[in-house]
């Protein structure tokens, strides 16, 4: 093939004392144009110079005139500081200096950051494996780099081979090792040139030593592939190593030698057999040779041993390439491996996350493959599916005890209440529960289980360790914040267990987590957990004053006095219309009987009447069936009752084993008027039933009597128990205190995502839940919690809070540019246009200064008051996963039967109202009440500057539209320097911009919610009724 050279005559190779690289072109294609020092098949690259390969003459050092090659296909850089050779798929934008480009290559190599680059069209391949689009990859002597693949992986069309990498130390030391004591640098370089071109090598290593070692290593990998049980899986794991660009220092005797920065091994530690785990190389022989998980010797150089956390404040994550120790600030930092250390002492791990990179987590934290790990994560298809088999997966055979769980989204929030249509919902919490024999660590963070959010983005991290109990305490799972007395009790265990149960209720195999939590003492928790669970939530129902009957052990109903109530569950009566519809009751006799009973029923202060629950063990269709009867409880006899229907199957499935064992007791109430209306009208609306849960006669023996079936039932019970969620939980905690309204100094919320449906009603509801009151009622002694409550009219006139969100200019000015923020920040242009006139937006400036330029993924709120003495501050701080949106916190919805006297109030806290929540979320709240003289809210340092700078007239938030326009503007600036740009590259780039979606979007407001009976519930009840009727006949 013909080789074209821009130079008219062959140039002499000029060697650089700081190092250089020799590349060889096997069978050069035609036409190839070289704009640098080269022979027909040898290319010489100087150190610290960026070389471009492509088909565009103006900007490329090596030009391939072929349509399959991009205008600027890839770039190569030999970094003399690290003595490493890098190749990038695509090119770095022209607006950066050479020193910045060198830093970028080093950072990109370690962090795989997005931004700065534009990827090639057809890719770059190293040893047949494609480099990640826009990714940086380190290459070694003997590596084959190709630019186009045609057919077989073994037959690339355009290829170069790394022939030699000469480091600065080798050049400066070649006279010492091979050529005597000549002092002439000119002669030294010439001799080095002769040695390389002549093929003899220099220094201590022969010319082909690196190549031979690498070949032996590849042969070993081939041999391991052939001997493996699943060769295809083994090859895929090997590919992950290349794609994730792990650092192998060199090959010796056919085995890789690792640096301590990669695996945490001592330098020079020889690794025997290797296994690839996800994104990392992991060594089977590590435990025996290099590290001891039980000691500090397993710590990586940048890791620290964590002491016990007081739990009174949150930390920030440790960002790579930031010297946190050199920065004087009040924020302490922590990394994910530090939180898990020592891994060897862990007995079980639970994780909840939105996005995840499980393989990175396993390798980063050096997790042993036998450790039981449960990871609840988001998957739209699986979370909306009704198929229970899709609730879990075990995708990693090397980790047989690692289970992925996909929590189900309730059908009530789906579009049209039809889960096949899906809806707006997100599994968005960030939680780690790390169980050890003597303690358990709970971690609440804003970082997902991915490397970028732990290494490159600012996130909050809170954790606290809790000791083991001498014996399990199941009553702690049902602790209430006040428990009816004046003193406050920590409900941390109940909140944690309830939230975990909501994620695992469809996965009986993982319900053991609930039993494990009972073994630890959470009474010392400093913060208050704040959870959101998707659904249409109703206010907790008050307990009946004097219940007459309980369903408990041996299917008996019995009177009980002084029973300890544990909670209430919103359920329904299914099958009522079956018994009383026209065909079954042609003369209306049964309907008249029902009406007579309902009229005689005694109603309590809440308009409810107690019903009788009875177990039906003789129904073949469901041995767990529980029937619901109405009768005059003062004169009840076996035949003097009317059966209304049954408990739904999903409720009866856990009620039956818990009451049959005597561990729990149950009683229930209905609204008589609602039941009569349903029987008369024949509508599809549900007949509400409130199921009250109490301790059974054998509750105190639960630790000895409990079986796996009971554990799964308790998990379902906890997931069903009514508890305050979202803004109602916020209000439950903060309503315990009277806040000095007139002493408020700030009320702020900094979030990486702002909801698209934020309006005065939601703002007022959030502010009211946060304790906001009208100033004129601030000093009122009125005990009614609704007195002086903040409403939408007041919110529209005088915004209660300030929203912190970065401006587009701040994002554009960041060293990493716009790309890293594109998938972190979510703020719609419509929301901005709606809020800009109310003057509530402030710039989010990272704190401390060392974090300026790094994107923030924090979700932090604070309401602060001056103390009356002026020496300290009081109030509260929240941090966690909740973005500032109705999807996360919930939007109040009024029941259609509720008459509102103030339709603009926006708080909707009356008993008939509901809270529409779309997401699973979890956070932690720290409270310094006005009565606390020993604490100061200012001890909790926020991750952004306060007071935050107010938006100027010219400022604009980094909305999706603003970032898109900025990227287009950046592209236009670059196009001015590029001629004949390939159309397919522009099209690919624009497609990328349009296809990228923020991590979460918004809730559609639901009004006039009326719960309806589902078709499967009707079918279940009809089957039970038919078998009851046949047995009676």
Tell me, what's the pLDDT at 814?
86
Tell me, what's the pLDDT at 103?
65
Query: Does pLDDT of 209 surpass 60?
Result: no
- Mean pLDDT, rounded, for 895-917: 58
Task: Kindly report the backbone phi and psi dihedral angles of residue 414, in degrees, each rounded to the nearest multiple of 5, phi listed first.
Answer: -75, 160
Tell me, what's the pLDDT at 613?
92
Look at residue 38 and give its three-state secondary structure. strand
Q: Rounded to whole angstroms, how far apart are CA atoms 428 and 451?
A: 17
Query: Does pLDDT of 36 surpass 50?
Result: no
Tell me, what's the pLDDT at 505?
93
- Mean pLDDT, rounded, for 459-468: 97
- Mean pLDDT, rounded, for 792-821: 90
> What digits encode the pLDDT tens for the residues 268-321?
333 333 333 333 333 333 332 233 333 344 566 667 788 778 889 999 999 987
Tell me, what's the pLDDT at 825?
94
Q: Which residues of 629-663 are buried (b: 16+ CB within 10 A; e: fewer)?
A: bbbebeeeeeeebbbbbbbbbbbbbbbbbbbbbbb
Cis (ω within 30 of 0) for the bond into 1014?
no
> What digits encode the pLDDT tens for the residues 233-246?
666 555 544 444 33
> Residue 527: how many CA atoms within 13 Å on its side-chain side?
31
Q: Which two tokens stand for residue 944?
A: 């952004």
Query: Does pLDDT of 632 surpass 80?
Result: no
Tell me, what's the pLDDT at 180?
35
> What digits encode the pLDDT tens for the residues 117-176?
788 888 888 887 888 888 888 898 888 888 876 554 444 457 888 888 888 766 554 443
Residue 953 annotated as catalytic: no
Cα angle value 807/812/815 (rounded, 5°):
125
Tell me, what's the pLDDT at 119?
85
Catalytic residue among 234, 857, 882, 916: 857
Catalytic residue among 234, 428, 537, 916: 428
- Mean pLDDT, rounded, for 866-877: 88
> What digits encode the pLDDT tens for the residues 676-688?
888 776 667 788 9
Determine whether 17 is exposed, middle or buried from the number of CB atoms within 10 Å of its CB (0-12, 13-18, 19+): middle
Query: Does pLDDT of 608 surpass 50?
Result: yes
> What digits encode the pLDDT tens for the residues 924-983?
999 999 988 889 999 999 999 999 999 999 999 999 999 999 888 877 665 554 444 434
Q: Rounded to whole angstroms, how far apart are CA atoms 455 and 322?
A: 10
CA–CA distances in Å: residue 785 to residues 401, 619, 738, 772, 894: 49, 48, 10, 11, 18
Taking a C-beta distance cutoff of 8 angstroms, is the pair 549, 615 a contact? no
CA–CA distances in Å: residue 976 to residues 101, 569, 812, 980: 21, 66, 20, 11
Tell me, what's the pLDDT at 188?
38
Q: Which residue has the higher pLDDT, 377 or 795?
A: 377
Tell me, what's the pLDDT at 327?
62
Query: Does pLDDT of 716 surpass 50?
Result: yes
* Range in 131-145, 197-211, 504-518, 921-935 with the lowest mean pLDDT: 197-211
- Mean pLDDT, rounded, for 94-122: 62
Residues whose CB falls within 8 Å of the CB of residue 892, separated by 6 or more in sequence, listed in order: 727, 761, 765, 906, 907, 908, 909, 913, 914, 915, 916
What mean pLDDT value characterizes the chain?
78
Percent of the chain's residues with pLDDT above 90? 41
Query: Does pLDDT of 266 surpass 50?
Result: no
Establish whether 859 is an annotated binding residue. Answer: yes
pLDDT band at 702, cuts 50/70/90? very high
Tell me, what's the pLDDT at 416?
83
Query: Does pLDDT of 857 surpass 90?
Result: yes
Task: Name all domains of the chain by residue range, CATH numbers in brackets.
Answer: 4-172 (2.60.200.20), 225-291 (no CATH), 315-526 (3.30.870.10), 541-722 (3.30.70.2330), 728-962 (3.30.870.10)
- Mean pLDDT, rounded, for 250-256: 38
From 764, 754, 765, 763, select the one nearest 882 (Cα to Cα).
754
> What digits encode the pLDDT tens for the residues 558-576?
555 667 899 999 999 998 8
Q: Which residue has the higher pLDDT, 523 or 232?
A: 523
From 384, 526, 392, select the one nearest 465 (Cα to Cα).
526
Residue 428 annotated as catalytic: yes
- Torsion over CA: 730, 734, 735, 738 (sign): negative
Establish whether 430 is an annotated binding residue. Answer: yes
- H or E stretch at 580: helix 576-580
> What digits encode the pLDDT tens for the residues 987-1001?
333 333 333 334 444
Q: Rounded to whole angstroms, how far apart are CA atoms 332 and 321?
A: 16
Percent of the chain's residues with pLDDT above 70? 70
Q: Which two tokens stand for residue 922?
A: 């979890």
Q: Which two tokens stand for residue 687?
A: 């007949």
pTM: 0.72
Tell me, what's the pLDDT at 43?
84
pLDDT band at 577, cuts 50/70/90? confident
Give the residues across from 136 on adjacent strands.
Answer: 88
Cα angle value 989/991/997 (rounded, 5°):
110
């Amino acid at each position: 093939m013909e080789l074209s050279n821009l130079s008219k005559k062959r140039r002499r190779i000029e060697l650089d004392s700081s190092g250089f690289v020799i590349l060889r072109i096997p069978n050069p294609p035609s036409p190839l144009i070289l704009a640098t020092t080269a022979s027909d098949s040898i290319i010489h690259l100087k150190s610290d110079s960026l070389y471009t390969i492509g088909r565009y003459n103006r900007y490329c050092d090596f030009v391939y005139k072929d349509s399959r090659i991009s205008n600027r296909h890839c770039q190569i850089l030999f970094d003399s500081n690290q003595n490493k050779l890098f190749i990038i798929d695509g090119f770095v934008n022209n607006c950066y200096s050479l020193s910045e480009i060198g830093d970028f290559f080093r950072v990109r190599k370690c962090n795989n950051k997005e931004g700065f680059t534009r990827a090639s069209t057809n890719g770059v391949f190293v040893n047949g494996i494609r480099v990640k689009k826009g990714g940086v990859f380190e290459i070694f002597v003997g590596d084959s780099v190709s630019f186009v693949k045609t057919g077989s992986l073994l037959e690339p069309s355009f290829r170069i081979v790394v022939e030699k990498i000469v480091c600065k130390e080798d050049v400066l030391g070649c006279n010492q090792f091979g050529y005597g004591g000549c002092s002439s640098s000119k002669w030294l370089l010439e001799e080095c040139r002769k040695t390389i071109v002549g093929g003899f090598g220099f220094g201590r290593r022969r010319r082909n030593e690196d190549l031979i070692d690498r070949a032996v290593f590849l042969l070993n990998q081939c041999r391991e592939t052939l001997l493996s049980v699943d060769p295809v899986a083994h090859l895929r794991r090997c590919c992950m190593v290349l794609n994730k660009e792990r650092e192998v220092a060199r090959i010796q005797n056919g085995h890789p030698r690792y640096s301590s920065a990669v695996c945490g091994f001592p330098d020079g530690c020889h690794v025997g057999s290797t296994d690839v785990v996800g994104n990392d190389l992991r060594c089977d022989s590590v435990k025996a040779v290099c590290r001891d998980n039980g000691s500090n010797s397993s710590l990586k150089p940048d890791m620290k041993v964590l002491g016990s956390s007081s739990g009174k404040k949150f930390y920030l994550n440790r960002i790579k390439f930031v010297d946190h120790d050199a920065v004087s600030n009040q924020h302490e930092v922590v990394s994910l491996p530090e939180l898990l250390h020592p891994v060897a002492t862990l007995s079980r791990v639970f994780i909840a996350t939105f996005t995840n990179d499980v393989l990175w987590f396993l390798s980063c934290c050096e997790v042993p493959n036998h450790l039981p790990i449960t990871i609840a994560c988001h998957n739209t298809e699986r979370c909306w599916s009704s198929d229970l088999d899709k609730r879990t997966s075990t995708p990693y055979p090397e980790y047989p005890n690692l289970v992925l769980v996909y929590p189900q989204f309730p059908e009530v929030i789906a579009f049209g209440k039809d889960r096949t249509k899906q809806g707006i919902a997100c599994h968005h919490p960030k939680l780690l529960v790390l169980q050890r024999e003597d303690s358990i660590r709970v971690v609440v963070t804003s970082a997902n289980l991915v490397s970028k959010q732990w290494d490159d983005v600012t996130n909050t991290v809170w954790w606290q360790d809790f000791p083991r109990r001498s014996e399990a305490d199941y009553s702690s799972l049902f602790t209430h914040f006040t428990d009816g007395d004046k003193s406050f009790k920590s409900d941390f265990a109940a909140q944690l267990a309830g939230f975990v149960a909501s994620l695992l209720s469809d996965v009986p195999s993982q319900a053991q987590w609930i039993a494990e939590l009972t073994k630890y003492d959470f009474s010392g928790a400093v913060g208050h957990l704040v959870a959101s669970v998707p659904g249409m939530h109703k206010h907790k129902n008050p307990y009946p004053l004097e219940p007459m009957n309980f369903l408990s052990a041996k299917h008996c109903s019995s009177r009980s006095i002084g029973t300890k109530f544990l909670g209430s569950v919103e359920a329904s009566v299914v099958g009522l219309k079956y018994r009383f519809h026209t065909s079954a009751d042609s003369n209306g006799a049964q309907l008249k009987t029902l009406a007579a009973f309902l009229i005689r029923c005694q109603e309590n202060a809440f308009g409810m009447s107690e019903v009788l629950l009875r177990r039906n063990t003789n129904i073949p269709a469901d041995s767990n069936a529980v029937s619901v009867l109405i009768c005059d409880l003062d004169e009840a006899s076996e035949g003097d009752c009317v059966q209304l229907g049954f408990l739904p199957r999903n409720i009866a499935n856990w009620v039956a084993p818990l009451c049959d064992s005597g561990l729990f007791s149950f009683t229930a109430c209905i609204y008589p008027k609602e039941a009569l209306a349903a029987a008369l009208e024949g509508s599809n609306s549900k007949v509400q039933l409130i199921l009250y849960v109490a301790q059974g006669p054998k509750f105190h023996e639960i630790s000895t009597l409990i079986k796996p079936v009971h554990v799964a039932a308790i998990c379902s019970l906890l997931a069903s128990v009514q508890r305050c969620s979202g803004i109602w939980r916020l209000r439950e905690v903060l309503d315990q205190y009277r806040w000095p309204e007139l002493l408020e100094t700030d009320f702020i919320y900094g979030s990486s995502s702002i909801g698209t449906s934020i309006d005065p009603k939601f703002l007022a509801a959030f502010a009211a839940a946060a304790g906001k009151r009208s100033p004129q009622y601030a000093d009122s002694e009125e005990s009614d919690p609704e007195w002086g409550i903040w409403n939408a009219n007041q919110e529209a006139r005088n915004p209660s809070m300030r929203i912190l969100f970065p401006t587009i200019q701040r994002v554009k000015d960041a060293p990493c540019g716009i790309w890293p923020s594109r998938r972190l920040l979510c703020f719609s242009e419509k929301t901005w246009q709606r809020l800009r006139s109310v003057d509530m937006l402030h710039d989010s400036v990272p704190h401390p200064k060392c974090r300026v330029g790094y994107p923030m993924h924090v979700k932090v709120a604070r309401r602060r008051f001056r103390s009356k003495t002026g020496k300290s501050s009081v109030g509260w701080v929240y941090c966690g996963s909740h973005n500032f949106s109705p999807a996360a916190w919930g939007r109040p919805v009024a029941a259609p039967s509720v008459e509102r006297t103030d339709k603009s109030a926006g708080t909707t806290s009356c008993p008939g109202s509901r809270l529409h929540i779309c997401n699973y979320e979890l956070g932690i709240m720290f409270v310094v009440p006005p009565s606390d003289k020993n604490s100061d809210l200012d001890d909790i340092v926020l991750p952004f500057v306060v007071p935050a700078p107010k938006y100027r007239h010219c400022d604009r938030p980094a909305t999706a539209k603003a970032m898109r326009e900025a990227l287009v503007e950046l592209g236009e600036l670059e196009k001015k320097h590029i001629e004949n740009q390939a159309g397919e590259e522009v099209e690919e780039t624009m497609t990328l911009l349009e296809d990228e979606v923020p991590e979460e979007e918004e809730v559609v407001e639901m009004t006039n919610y009326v719960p309806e009976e589902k078709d499967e519930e009707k079918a279940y009840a009809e089957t039970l009724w038919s078998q009851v009727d046949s047995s009676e006949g």
